[in-house]
Structures are given as C-alpha cells and as structure tokens.
Amino acid sequence: MPSYYTLYRAGTLGSALIDSLNELVTAGHVTPQLAIQVLEQFDKSLGEALVERVKAKAIMKGRLEIYRNYEEVWTLILKNATFKAEGEAISADKVKIVACSARRAGE
C-alpha cells in the first residue's frame, strides 16, 4: 500500500477535518478506525489533486541559508526571499520551504 505525506493535515483544511473527526469519534458517531481511514484518504486525495490540477508556476529568489534532506523530504530556509507568480510578487525576510519527493505518493 502506498504511503502519502501527512503535511497537509497541519493546514486549515486538515486541522478542521481532524477537529471534526475527533468530535465524531468522541460522540460515538464514527469509530477511530474509520477516522484514520478518512485522514488517509484526505492525504491521498489532496496529494493527487495538487499534482493533477495545479498548473501555476512561480519564481523564487533569495539567499539559501540552510538546506536539509531527510528521507526524501527537503527543508530549505531562505533569507530575503521574493516569490513571483501570475504577475504578483511577495517578499519575506525569512521563509521555510518543505518539499517532498513526488515518487512517494505514487509508489
């Protein structure tokens, strides 16, 4: 069985899903096993949707302060970063980027 990244659970949508599932489990409306299956499907569906539906491209510039690779998960820290996408630019003093290998989701 393929394993998917759980990064998106920390976002707004993932947090709301986890809170809702916790309430349903606490109230006895769903089993903990079903809640875990829902979260696993969320991970799979969100990863696939990003690969298939997002076609936007962005340009980023900045000074690479730190980079790490652990189990095909890259962590990059950029200083004085600028991102340009679809004609708009955003700047930040410090940015943390977490990038994952696309191969893991498709295994």
Q: Are 89 and 96 in contact (CB under 8 A)?
A: no
Task: Indicate if 63 and 37 belong to the same structural domain.
Answer: no
Q: Where do the H-state alpha helices sit in the chain?
A: 12-27, 32-53, 102-106
In whole angstroms, what is the distance from residue 51 CA to residue 49 CA?
5
Task: Indicate if 20 and 36 belong to the same structural domain.
Answer: yes
Task: Return the percentage of the chain with pLDDT > 70, whole number.
Answer: 92
Whole-prediction pTM: 0.64
- The reply to whether 2 falls in a domain is no
- What letter does residue 11 receive in the DSSP assignment? S
pLDDT at 105 over 60: no
Give 45-87 pLDDT, tens digit per residue: 988 888 888 888 889 999 999 999 988 889 999 999 999 988 8
Task: Indicate if 63 and 98 belong to the same structural domain.
Answer: yes
Task: Look at residue 42 in the predicted model and tell me its pLDDT.
Answer: 94
pLDDT at 15 over 60: yes
Q: Which of 53, 46, 32, 33 is nearest to 4 (CA)?
A: 46
Task: Return the percentage of the chain with pLDDT > 90, whole number.
Answer: 58
In whole angstroms, what is the distance from residue 85 CA to residue 87 CA?
6
Task: Look at residue 1 in the predicted model and tell me its pLDDT.
Answer: 42
Give the CATH number, domain containing residue 29.
1.10.287.190
Task: Indicate if 37 and 66 belong to the same structural domain.
Answer: no
Task: Indicate if 23 and 36 belong to the same structural domain.
Answer: yes
pLDDT at 106 over 70: no
Give residue 13's domain range.
7-53
